[in-house]
A and B are shown apart, each in its own frame.
Chain A
Amino acid sequence: MTTTANGPGTLDEVLDYDTATAAFDPVMGLEVHVELNTVTKMFCGCPTEFGAEPNTQVCPVCLGLPGALPVLNRAGLESAVRIGLALNCRIAPLCRFARKNYFYPDMPKNFQTSQYDEPIAHDGWLDVELSDGEVYRVAIERAHMEEDTGKSLHVGGSTGRIHGADYSLVDYNRAGIPLIEIVTKPLTGAGERAPEVAKAYVSSLRDLLKGLGVSDVKMEQGSLRCDVNLSLRSRQDDDQMSVPLGTRSETKNVNSLRSIERAVRYEIKRHAARLRTGQKIVQETRHWHEDTGITTSGREKSDAEDYRYFPEPDLVPMQSDPEWVDSLRATIPEPPAERRRRLRAEWGFSEAELRDLINAGAVDLVAATIEAGATPAAARKWWSGELARQAKARGVDLCDLPITCEQVVELQGMVDAGRLTDTLARQVLDGVLAEEGGPEKVAAARGLSVVSDDSALGAAVDRAIEANPAVVKKILSGKTAATGALIGAVMRDMRGKADAARVKDLVLKRLVPQEGETDL
């Protein structure tokens, strides 16, 4: 058993992971908050643009000024219904907003307009695929609409949290931005794979939301935020269904896929250590620390916390007419898992090849490149090869590289036509990524094209033969594999611009005139 630091003066004990999951079965509940990318806020006409000057995207409604009233953004409702449908949920034919009452300085009305016992969507599921292809079905409890709060910036103090800060600044630009909260049912049966399931779920959800076009789903900007509820129950009982759920902890704002996996793993280890030694789990919220990879205690959260929900009287009930819902159903893209199965068959890739593309976030790019005219093999070669390397080196996502799928097709076309060697193609690519223009333009400007003029090549071959007598001797003694060294010398001489196949021809003609090309 080891210990980790937990704030000043306290230490949380943790059990090693394998021991923990051998003794206990984790039960997770994931709450994901998604900021919708509607042009205006949920209940007023203010813009939702990220990163504006503080308190410039506000009005009497989202500032909660006395007398102001909310009006529902229809686009937000539409997104909520589409998310519900994509998550295989039932859509409530009639539902209401409710007020969640609590005091906090960044909440202008000191109540949040949310949904309580009448969510817009409920009882759905999402299939998520783990790295080895195993599929886990995540049961969805509900998806409901609510408004975001403002944002507090606590200045001074050591923690960046309100406690101990010298003063706080509040930015209400975010107040009233539409949110969808997606809550899973308690997820059981994942066992030691629980951290993987959590990560795969949020990752799948992110893809799904992106496919729906309803959110920017940028975890680093907070447009997708995840809270992890976790409890453990003993594995000793044969009938797991009859074992009551243990006390849970709620780890707030775990904001990267990697952190979700790590946070679940850490909490399993922490809970197990306490339960092993007969200690109770405190029902509380916990803060995740990205740097140290641990959680620390936040505020205690008991069932006594009372939000005094009641139906929002300033908004009328929402009716989801079945015809309207059906028309939205027609706009739901193919579920990501099904789409992948279909694409793999169409492209003729192996499971491993497709999974590499998935992990690199390249599936959509490959699909678009094929759509633009490339063969599946060529599209895969570029996106999982040189372009993946370039993205990694620059620390950006593949889709953020400054190259279009059409440019990739153009480049491949030049290679196929024998106008570029692979080396030259990579140099052209460098130019494209340096935003010097499209492949043709870069090749012309940088003077990159294969030389297949026999007189120029012949002179270079002669120079190579002259400079490498030892290699020539090997070839003449029958070691034809040594030809590569001469070809390499010619290519260097020509600065990569030579047509390698033509060079090989010329070398062999000079040195082994009687043998013919078939041996080589």
Chain B
Amino acid sequence: MSSATPPADDSRSLTRRTAAELAQMLRTRQVSSVEVVQAHLDRIHGTDPGERGVHAFLHVSADSALATAAAVDRARAAGEQLHPLAGVPVAVKDVMTTRGMPTTCGSRILDGWIPPYDATVVRNLRDARMPILGKTNMDEFAMGSSTEHSAFGPTRNPWDLDRIPGGSGGGSAAALAAFQAPLATGSDTGGSIRQPAAVTGTVGVKPTYGGVSRYGLVALASSLDQAGPCGRTVLDTALLHEVMAGHDPLDSTSLTDDVPDVVGAARNRDVAGLRIGVIRELSGDGCQPGVRARFDEATALLVEAGATLVDVECPSFTAALAAYYLILPSEASSNLAKFDAMRYGLRVRPEKVVDPTAEQVMAATRAAGFGDEVKRRIILGTYALSSGYYDAYYGSAQKVRTLIQRDFARAFENADVLVSPTAPTTAFRLGEKLEDPLAMYLNDVATIPANLAGVPAMSIPAGIADEDDLPVGFQILAPARADDRLYHVGAALETLLEVRRGGPLLDRAPEISSASVAR
């Protein structure tokens, strides 16, 4: 945590602050929540719109964020006991329902829908009195690794505005990297929190399945989806994790355990004696040289700090991508059936039909309202579940899932955490993989196993690839319910890397301004 305190009117430096620093400044009344929120709104206004704007946000809720901030300031002035993050703004991925605020999931089919209820995660943010800056961009219904599948246009990577910010949660990751928000929520079905974190030089965590409520998280694949926190530092991410997590009686798959002490773990930087398992199947071939180099350096730093490296084999991981692309579309085809023009969202009357039936309206609406990637996966899933194919496809994929869980169980007998590069490459160029779905899918090869097994995983910045000067992500995985281990190892490595580098990685990102985005 920085000890230097900027003048309160320096809005630029307010947006450079970590959430932990902002919380401290608010608590000691060095700055008001309204000032903090206004600084971030100004930053969003200056960097998000325009031809080459970051476009991290689909909706900015300035008025309600300022109102929450003002209420927090009044409460603090009145001496009320407040949550540590009260008044610290947050951005919410547009896949979570927000009462009275649009929720589109990046899809035309939900254009204009205002949910009548809050997701439990959003409720938790509001209960902590965190001002919600707005809703962040994403691949339509969280299907994609680049945000290029958003119906409302892609988000740009603040490190290079011609590159993708990852996906599906590219909006949240870019908002953090562009200093538009100190914290953001995400959802991770196969890497949608971690891969964007990796390619934007930020931190993202997919908690243990069931650790954070899915109520109000618009489902992609119910058995894989998990909401989680995104931040610029491991400690910030832990602070948000603590707000988001906990048992929710509205989600039958929610864990009843106490939330692990993730904040405490993020302050423990001693890794001496820890056994770090390097997953052989994910750490070698197929990685860009710069990714491999930063990964090896990071593991070497952990060893220097007293950890032991263990070579771990997870042979079933080679089938993970195939299993994932059967289970995900199968569940998605069913989850997305509800978008039928009957009750909410888009309704399209078919052309050239005088008196259309409900079925024709449904078909026309789904044809116009869903993008190509969504249709591709609905078709895949419908096929995989159809009678005669179920056993061969969905059934086999579930068996692979069991094998992957066994691989993890065996691996964690010999290692406290497992590690791998988060993504095999750095951020690719916008449009580069749009026409090649398989190449796009391969980007998630290292993140998918955690979702299939339900174990928690984190991505933290490992450095910059020599060949393209773009951020590289380092993935840490822990056994189910041991999310605290991620924060323990993540915070330790973050410190080791910062000491070596001489500061946070994002300090090395190019400056974006209204001028650069307007070009």
Contact = CB atoms under 8 A, between A and B. Distances in A.
Interface of A: 60, 63-72, 99, 101, 103, 105, 108-111, 162, 168, 170, 306, 308-310, 313-316
B349 to A, nearest CB: 14
A69 B251 contact: yes
Contact of B250 (A65, A69, A308): A69
Interface string B471-515: 000000000000000000000000000000000000000000000
B390 A310 contact: yes
Contacts of A101: 333-334, 337, 385
Interface stretch (B129-137, B209-217, B233-241, B405-413): B209-217
B103 A66 contact: yes
A105 B359 CA distance: 8
Given A71-B252, A168-B358, A306-B386, A66 B218 contact: yes
Given A66-B110, A67-B119, A310-B385, A315 B252 contact: yes
A361 B463 CA distance: 82
B331 A313 contact: yes
B385 A71 contact: no
Contacts of B11: none
B342 interface: yes
17 contacts: A60-B116, A66-B97, A66-B103, A66-B339, A67-B96, A67-B97, A69-B214, A69-B215, A72-B252, A103-B337, A103-B362, A109-B337, A109-B338, A110-B337, A306-B386, A306-B387, A308-B387
A108 to B, nearest CB: 7
Interface in B113-162: 113, 115-117, 119
Contacts of A162: 358
B215 A308 contact: no
A63 B340 CA distance: 13
Contacts of A69: 214-215, 250-252
B358 A314 contact: no
B441 interface: no
Contacts of A70: 252
B501 to A, nearest CB: 40
Contact of B337 (A72, A105, A111, A170): A111
A274 B382 CA distance: 38
B223 interface: yes
Contact of B342 (A72, A105, A306): A105
A103 B336 CA distance: 11
Contacts of B251: 69, 71
Nearest to A166: B355
Interface string B330-353: 110110011110111000000000
Contacts of B250: 69, 71
Contacts of B385: 101, 308-310
B378 to A, nearest CB: 11
Nearest to A111: B334
B187 to A, nearest CB: 11
Interface of B: 96-97, 103, 105, 110, 113, 115-117, 119, 214-219, 221-223, 249-253, 330-331, 333-334, 337-340, 342-344, 358-359, 362, 382, 385-387, 390, 394
Contacts of A99: 334
Contacts of A314: 219, 222, 252-253
Contact of B217 (A64, A65, A67, A315): A67
A313 B223 contact: yes
B478 to A, nearest CB: 23
Contacts of B343: 63-65, 108
B116 A65 contact: yes
A492 B221 CA distance: 84
Given A63-B343, A69-B250, A314-B222, A308 B382 contact: yes
A262 to B, nearest CB: 33
Nearest to B248: A69
Contacts of B334: 99, 101, 111, 308, 310
A67 B359 CA distance: 24
Contact of B340 (A71, A110, A315): A110
B4 to A, nearest CB: 42
The 7 closest A-B pairs by CB, nearest first: A110-B337, A308-B385, A313-B222, A313-B223, A67-B216, A66-B218, A67-B97
B122 to A, nearest CB: 10
B219 to A, nearest CB: 7
Contacts of A315: 252-253
B252 A67 contact: no
Contacts of B221: 313
Contacts of B96: 67
B380 to A, nearest CB: 12
B43 to A, nearest CB: 29
Nearest to A316: B252
Contacts of B331: 310, 313
A67 B115 CA distance: 10
A70 B219 CA distance: 13
**Which has the most chain B C-beta neighbours within 10 Å: A60, A162, A168?**
A60
A69 B248 CA distance: 11
**Which has the most chain B C-beta neighbours within 10 Å: A60, A72, A313?**
A313
Nearest to B104: A66
Given A60-B117, A101-B385, A315-B252, A68 B337 contact: no
A67 B116 CA distance: 11
A30 B392 CA distance: 33
B253 A316 contact: yes
A65 B119 CA distance: 11
Nearest to A307: B387
Contacts of A306: 386-387
A105 B358 CA distance: 7
Contact of A68 (B105, B216, B358, B382): B216
B117 to A, nearest CB: 5
A317 to B, nearest CB: 10
A60 B119 CA distance: 11
A395 B330 CA distance: 53
A103 B386 contact: no
A514 to B, nearest CB: 92
Given A60-B117, A103-B340, A314-B222, 7 more contacts: A63-B343, A64-B338, A68-B117, A69-B214, A71-B249, A308-B386, A313-B223
A335 B340 CA distance: 46
Contacts of B359: 103
Nearest to A100: B334
A166 B340 CA distance: 20
A67 B222 contact: no
A14 to B, nearest CB: 33
B394 A310 contact: yes
